[in-house]
Amino acid sequence: MNILCPYFNRALVISTLVSAAANAAPIQFDISSTVTDAEGSYIGGVLVGDTITGTLIVDDDAANGGPGSDPGPGTNPGHEYTSFWEFNGPPYGVSLLDVQQGAGFSSETQAIVVNDGLTITAEDTGGIIPDGTYDWIEILGATTSDYCPSTADCGANPNEILVADGEEWTLAIFASDDSWFTGGSIPQSLPTGYTAFLIGLEFDDEGNETGIILSPVETLTMTAAPIPTAAWLFGSALASLGWIRRKQTA
């Protein structure tokens, strides 16, 4: 029995890791998109016609949202939402590749913004979609840092906090109102019909937006994320235990 103790301890630790991963409920978005607009600091680095492909792994369980999550509505003009969830854990991330340029972007998933019945105009989206009311989800990955301008009291007015010195990449998915989800919960499947865009923003170290990329998504799939490595290790540990038992019996 003393010989087996280290293996039981190892299996117990790995089992705990697997349980935590299972509770994380990761899902995976795989995308392929073509750039239709590149402005500012992105000019030359990304070209119109470039293909951007990538994977975004997120959480479909709002209960796993971090302390910065807001399950209530936000009404700040231009930033309205039904619910806002932060997911900064290791299982979640954004990985994108500009195929033609060979340039990559990766980060943790910073947030998921959900809107159930958002009324917007074509002007709001730069003509991306027509006037209407939509169900909308936004998956945000970023390398930016928070920045508080000297002219603002960021403690009293948190909306004045800006992002700076990095990039934000957003997968935005629009569907007709009430065709996708209700109540602000995170969708667990794609709607029958939708319009999706990959939007890239670049900021300088003072919070000024210096560049923008618009890349309509041509293919989009949503599946369960692959089994975490810990699960395979757990299986290996169990197999080792079985092998030891058989050897002792022999």
How many residues are given for the chain? Answer: 250
Domain parsing of the chain, residue ranges: 26-225
- Average pLDDT on 121-140 reads 87
pLDDT tens readout for residues 177-194: 787 766 667 888 888 889
Q: String of b and e for 217-234 (b: at least 16 CB within 10 Å)?
A: beebebeebeebebbebb
Rounded CA-CA distance 188/117 in Å is 17
Chain center to CA of 148: 24
- pTM to 2 decimal places: 0.77
Instruction: Assign 19 a pLDDT band (cuts: 50, 70, 90).
Output: very low
Q: For the chain, what is the largest distance between any 2 Cα atoms, rounded to a whole number of angstroms?
A: 78
Check pLDDT > 60 for residue 98. yes
DSSP 63: G
Cα distances from 161 to residues 26, 111, 154, 206, in angstroms, run: 29, 16, 6, 11
Per-residue model confidence (pLDDT) at position 23: 52
Ramachandran region of residue 60, left (φ > 0), alpha (ψ -120 to 50) or beta? alpha
Q: How far apart are CA 130 and CA 185, in angstroms?
A: 25
